[in-house]
A and B are shown apart, each in its own frame.
Chain A
Amino acid sequence: MKLTAQEVEYVAHLARLEITPQEKEKFTAQLNDILLYIDKLNELDTKGVEPMSHAIGVTNAFREDNVVESIGTEKTLANAPDARGEFFRVPKVIE
């Protein structure tokens, strides 16, 4: 079961990456490598094994509902590539 060029294009679109035709070829080969990893993992029977999402079993990490002063509009927009007044500005989606 190998990935098609179309699937690779789809993945690139999902990741919002523009890729060149050479990159598409390269990525197709590399994504296919994952399938090899999966084959390897499928050697193991993991029925009943709890998936490990965290290395250490912390639970119920909470904080209290106290307002802390925000950093303010100026600091918020300080790194913006494009800002207008109090807003970030972005191009529109062209339909």
Chain B
Amino acid sequence: MELYQSTIHELQDKIKEGKTTATEITCSVLQRIDAVEEKVHSYIRVLKEEALAAATDADKEIKKGNIKPLSGIPVALKDIVCTKGVPTTCGSHILHNFIPPYDATVVEKLRAAGAIFIGKANMDEFAMGSSTETSYFGPTRNPWDLERIPGGSSGGSAAAVAADECIASIGSDTGGSIRQPAALCGIVGMKPTYGRVSRFGLIAFASSLDQIGPFTKDVEDCAIMMNVLAGYDPKESTSVNVENPDYHQFVGRDIQGWKVGIPKEYFVEGIDPEVKAAIEESIKAMEKCGAQSVEISLPHTQYCLAVYYIIAPAEASSNLARYDGVKYGFRAAGGDLLDMYKKTRMQGFGAEVKRRIMIGTYALSAGYYDAYYKKASQVRALIKKDFEEAFKKCDVILTPTTPTPAFKIGEKTDNPLQMYLSDIFTISTNLAGIPGISLPCGFTKSGLPIGVQFLAGHFQEGKLIQVASAYERKAQVEKRRPGL
């Protein structure tokens, strides 16, 4: 096995035993990037020199015996988290040349844990999309089938892990943007509870929905990453000052007697038969673990879409007002102030971003606040209550992550039911603020990954690690590698 194919925990062991070095690992990953990046295009920017320099420093520390949880581990960062002195574009023309003078809190934490930043990963522009096709820098391709999407908006982060172009990565999830690409790329992706991981330095899309989370090759690595990422941040007013357990302790525990909720509103027409079959196998695997599946109801599921498509664009329209060509980023030439604003934003933003800004601006415009945003916020409270009620009856909820495997680049499904379900499975999680994890549960006949999703109550990431780890052990999903 090559170093670049390893997991964090495997490399931690090797480093402790002196069997490898940070530089060796980093070089291995960089070589892998050289070999496949042209095909996959996971990265907007590969940080070759910076990574090698960081690896050299890491090796000095390791030699002194100063080994940290992520010492020598190459990690990719979705280009939505600010990295000091390194361009951060958010996949957009309007920020194509923006160099933040500060680090996001998660970047500071990863750095302090010894991580080697290997590159800024590709993404849908301003995190708006589910295919990474809207990036100003071109699409990322699914390592399992280069004609297909990796999912989005954190497509680059997911593809990089799946293609072994990094050992782990960071993404962001506003309506499923970590979990969906994790499923389509056959890896593990977690969206923590809202407020668990700091949003300071995360370029905002929808402030009340955004969360940062890890992509990893297995559940144990996810626990390791969560230990680094989680934590109260006084720089974020919505950060929650709650105890952070050692997530690693949940790995390897059994789930004897657990109740696994199966929401009836999620198991309806429109799921691809192969996905349906894989999920049914997953439920059986749960039962083999000693858990019991129980039917639950999330009665307001049908309203999730409407709530999301009012709240998210409304917040986004306000968050993106700062991109005006005055202080940073792209500015269109010529004209007076009004021309500058309009041309800058017309030329600087892609079509999908403009669409959502228009929707959001309209939803907040005079006279509509009560009818639209406020109403949606009220229904949102009902959606949250659905989950609170459900978790009285079960420990975790199991759902498919996506209704279909990855579709082809450029081809949007014309099946409205599938479009609906592809949002429903993940959106509700962000609306309620609860944590969710997606992990591989099988492959289609044509070799495309399928993901299963677990959801838990607020601040119950430990439960997610526990059930995902148990599932991973029991289900024994075949470990394949994309044939790049």
Whether A and B touch (Cβ < 8 Å) is answered with yes
**A→B interface (CB under 8 Å):** 3, 8, 10-12, 14-19, 23, 26-27, 30-31, 34, 37-38, 40-44, 46, 49-56, 58, 61, 63, 71, 75, 78-82, 88, 90-94
Comparing B24-32, B355-363, B462-470, the segment that makes contact with chain A is B355-363
> Chain B 270-310 against A: per-residue CB contact (8 Å), 1 yes, 0 no?
00000000000000000000000000000010110111011
In angstroms, how far is the closest chain B Cβ from the Cβ of A56?
Answer: 5
Given contacts A44-B382, A49-B381, contact A16 B345 (CB under 8 A): yes
Given contacts A34-B372, A80-B327, contact A11 B358 (CB under 8 A): yes
Residues of B close to A49: CB separation below 8 A? 378-379, 381-382
The 4 A-B residue pairs with the shortest CB-CB distance, nearest first, are: A55-B433, A79-B328, A51-B377, A81-B331
B99 within 8 A of A: yes
In angstroms, how far is the closest chain B Cβ from the Cβ of A37?
Answer: 4
Question: Quick one: which of A46, A56, A93 contacts B375, CB cutoff 8 A?
Answer: A46
Comparing B130-138, B254-262, B336-344, the segment that makes contact with chain A is B336-344
Question: Quick one: which of A18, A26, A90 contacts B346, CB cutoff 8 A?
Answer: A18
- Say yes or no: B303 contacts A41, CB within 8 Å: yes
Tell me the B373-426 residues at the A interface (CB within 8 Å): 374-382, 384
Residues of B close to A44: CB separation below 8 A? 300, 303, 379, 382
Residues of B close to A54: CB separation below 8 A? 208, 238
- Say yes or no: B306 contacts A90, CB within 8 Å: no
Residues of A close to B476: CB separation below 8 A? none
Residues of B close to A51: CB separation below 8 A? 374, 377-378, 380-381
Specify the chain B residue showing the minimal Cβ separation from A3.
B362
Residues of B close to A93: CB separation below 8 A? 336-338
Given contacts A40-B306, A46-B382, A61-B237, contact A31 B362 (CB under 8 A): yes
- Say yes or no: B208 contacts A55, CB within 8 Å: yes
Q: How far is the CA of A72 from the CA of B374 in the complex (A)?
A: 40
Q: How far is the CA of A74 from the CA of B130 in the complex (A)?
A: 38
Residues of A close to B327: CB separation below 8 A? 79-80, 88
- Say yes or no: B317 contacts A15, CB within 8 Å: yes
In angstroms, how far is the closest chain B Cβ from the Cβ of A25?
Answer: 12
Q: How far is the CA of A14 from the CA of B99 in the complex (A)?
A: 28
- Say yes or no: A11 contacts B361, CB within 8 Å: yes
Residues of B close to A10: CB separation below 8 A? 365
- Given A63-B234, A79-B98, 18 extra CB contacts under 8 A: A3-B362, A16-B342, A17-B342, A17-B357, A30-B355, A31-B362, A37-B310, A46-B379, A52-B381, A53-B208, A54-B208, A54-B238, A58-B240, A81-B328, A82-B331, A91-B336, A91-B337, A93-B336
In angstroms, how far is the closest chain B Cβ from the Cβ of A87?
Answer: 11
Specify the chain B residue showing the minimal Cβ separation from A43.
B303
B324 within 8 A of A: yes
Residues of B close to A78: CB separation below 8 A? 99, 101
B330 within 8 A of A: yes
- Say yes or no: B358 contacts A27, CB within 8 Å: yes
- Say yes or no: A16 contacts B336, CB within 8 Å: no
- Say yes or no: A90 contacts B340, CB within 8 Å: yes
Question: Quick one: which of A12, A46, A81, A92 contacts B336, CB cutoff 8 A?
Answer: A92
- Say yes or no: A30 contacts B358, CB within 8 Å: yes
- Say yes or no: A81 contacts B337, CB within 8 Å: no
B9 within 8 A of A: no
In angstroms, how far is the closest chain A Cβ from the Cβ of B226?
Answer: 17
- Say yes or no: A71 contacts B378, CB within 8 Å: no
- Say yes or no: A34 contacts B363, CB within 8 Å: yes
